[in-house]
Amino acid sequence: MKEIRILDKKFRELITEKAIRNRLDELARQMNSDLAGKDVVFLGILNGAFLFAADIFRRIDIKARISFVKLASYEGTSSSGTIKELIGWNEDIKNKTIVVIEDIVDTGNTLERIVDELAIRKASEVKIATMLFKPAAFTKDISLDYVGFEIPDNFVVGYGLDYDGYGRNLPSVYTLIK
Ligand code: 5GP
């Protein structure tokens, strides 16, 4: 098993590049079949989902557009702490089928924030795609339509995901060695 170091931490390979490629083929095939005939906007969530979004989108052969939004954190003035705002909307999503493209769903807090925003913006249908999913950490009642891999509740990097800004360019997914 491949091991790498990023800054002060060591990681072990969890999902190989080949396994990711095979799963991308399967997910895209399923999407092409499920979403045929619809007016679809793929909505990538930056930064982490940029690779997954690109790799999925190049496999999509139905009529579709892609757009990206970013979750910006800033310190709130209230005791609730960090507030996350979705910025960068430049696509009219009203009455469209939206496929949210996430890198990883952990607690589901981020996803819930996005789903709420899509409801406010009156998307007609929302599908959720995530490359990675940590079922043991998930606390929400939101169904995930396309899941790449279910993984244990342990910190991972690679394939778009970072540790302190590094590791996003790794072609496979690595898990933290504690
Ligand atoms: P949630 O809101 O579901 O708890 O977390 C979602 C976000 O937290 C992801 O989009 C990602 O940015 C970050 N995150 C959650 N788990 C991990 C992980 O294991 N590794 C990395 N690099 N980021 C994670």
In CATH, 3-176 is 3.20.20.10? no
- The verdict on whether 106 is a catalytic residue reads yes
Please report the pLDDT score of residue 75 as a whole number.
Answer: 53
Please report the pLDDT score of residue 84 as a whole number.
Answer: 75
The atom of ligand 1 lying closest to the CA of 108 is 3
Q: Is the beta carbon of 174 within 6 A of some atom in ligand 1?
A: no
CB 33 within 8 Å of CB 170: no
Please report the pLDDT score of residue 78 as a whole number.
Answer: 47
Please report the pLDDT score of residue 91 as a whole number.
Answer: 82
What pTM does this model have?
Answer: 0.94
Ligand 1 center to 155 CA (angstroms): 8
Domain ranges of the chain: 3-176
Q: Whose CA is nearest to atom 17 of ligand 1?
A: 155
Q: What values do phi and psi take at 103, rounded to 5?
A: -75, -50
Please list the rounded mean pLDDT of every run of 10 residues in the chain (178 residues): 95 98 98 96 96 98 96 58 76 93 96 94 97 97 98 98 97 97
Q: Is the beta carbon of 148 within 6 A of some atom in ligand 1?
A: no
Please write the tens of the pLDDT for every residue from 74-108.
654 444 456 578 898 888 899 999 999 999 999 99
Please report the pLDDT score of residue 96 as a whole number.
Answer: 95
Q: What angle do CA 170, 173, 178 make, to 5 degrees?
A: 110
Please report the pLDDT score of residue 114 as a whole number.
Answer: 94
